[in-house]
Structure 1
Amino acid sequence: MIFPFTGTAQQASINDFMVKENLSQNGKLAIIATDSLEKTNNQVNGDYKFTINGFQQDLRFTDGVAVTSNPIESSTFVFFKHKSGDKEIGKLFFLRVTEKGISPYKISGFLLIVVPLLVLFIAYKLKRFLITLLIIALVYFYLNYSKGLDVKQLIESTILGLKDLI
């Protein structure tokens, strides 16, 4: 061999992830890199870029698990997005905070389309469209101002959910 061999380690890519409360229950979230069977991918190590509610963060993964730097103090909506090569993964969660800890509930992009259409269908059938629209607007403003729900996050989660269906 004329040239010395210089090998570089290739970082494992994150194909999917799930969100849980950190084991120490300190109010922080653990992001777990998973494979297609939702088993932890222990080969994921190093820094990976995630966008959390529009803010880009570098998360350090060790054996497939990373912990967010900021604790969650109250119930809120959180949109996680990660771009791995040509694949973009985005998930919307509702994080419910209680005395027992944080319970993350994944919100499907499909539900973001079906539920409003169902509400509009019911409103149309009951001829109460204006009252229903007012109630939806009040719920949206409540969630927007007190729980951190943003229209941009809803639209982006819906688009990524539709991409997964196709």
Structure 2
Amino acid sequence: MFLISICHLFTQMAWAQNANIADFDVKENLSQNGKLAIIAVDSLNKTNNGIQGSYKFNINGFQQDLQFNDGVAVTANPIESSTFVFFKHKSPHKDIGKLYFLRVTEKGITPYKISGMLLIILPLLILFIAYKFKRFLVTLAILAVAYLYLNYSKGLDVKQLIESTILGLKDLI
């Protein structure tokens, strides 16, 4: 009986590790300890409870092995202040990358997903408006100051912006 139980356990572990993460969502951990929960979801945006085991994620360029239990993994480090975070998971079928702005308040962490298309349309719209009002240099200076502020105090990086935009375009095509 013991041998059958062990064989069943190994079979179950091998099956769980073969499950692929098709998509994921980011939320605050239920214990509200400043950590994030990464939730594996299916095509209907429901939690995929079949995801078990360790999966590799790149979080702002740092590779981490996240331990999933019933489709949910908790990041190791707490978030202390508002910041931009780029999550990327490389599955055998496709790369999944999402850019979030994490707003930290006394009530907890609120993640806001930033669309790749927004990263293309918003700067183009700003440039169009600047061109129409003949104040391109002033607008460019304001954008540069805003970028420098977000880069140095909130962790926004040009590489993350470009990678998020490219992955957004791949999903569009």
Partner of 2:139: 132
Q: What's the offset of the Cα at 1:106? A: 0.1
Q: What's the offset of the Cα at 1:133? A: 0.2
Matched ranges for 1:3-42 at <5 A: 8=11, 9-10=14-15, 11=17, 12-42=19-49
Matched ranges for 1:145-164 at <5 A: 145-164=152-171
- Does the alignment pair 1:74 with 2:98? no
Unaligned runs of 5+ in 2: 1-6
Partner of 2:3: none
Give the residue type in structure 2 aligned to 1:60: Q
Partner of 1:115: 122
Q: What's the offset of the Cα at 1:86? A: 2.8
User: Number of aligned pairs?
Assistant: 161
Q: Which has the higher helix share?
A: 2
Partner of 1:3: none
Could you state the TM-score of these two structures normalised by the residue count of structure 1?
0.95
Unaligned runs of 5+ in 1: 1-5
Partner of 1:104: 111
Could you state the TM-score of these two structures normalised by the residue count of structure 2?
0.91
Query: Which consecutive segments of 4 or more residues in structure 1 shift more than 4 A?
Result: none
Distance in 2 (CA, whole Å) between partners of 1:123 and 1:137 is 14
Q: Choose the corresponding residue for 2:53, options 46, 52, 55.
A: 46
Q: CA RMSD in A?
A: 1.0
SS of residue matched to 2:31: coil
- Does the alignment pair 1:86 with 2:93? yes
Distance in 2 (CA, whole Å) between partners of 1:39 and 1:84 is 19
Give the residue type in structure 2 aligned to 1:162: L
What is the percentage of aligned positions where both structures have the same residue? 80
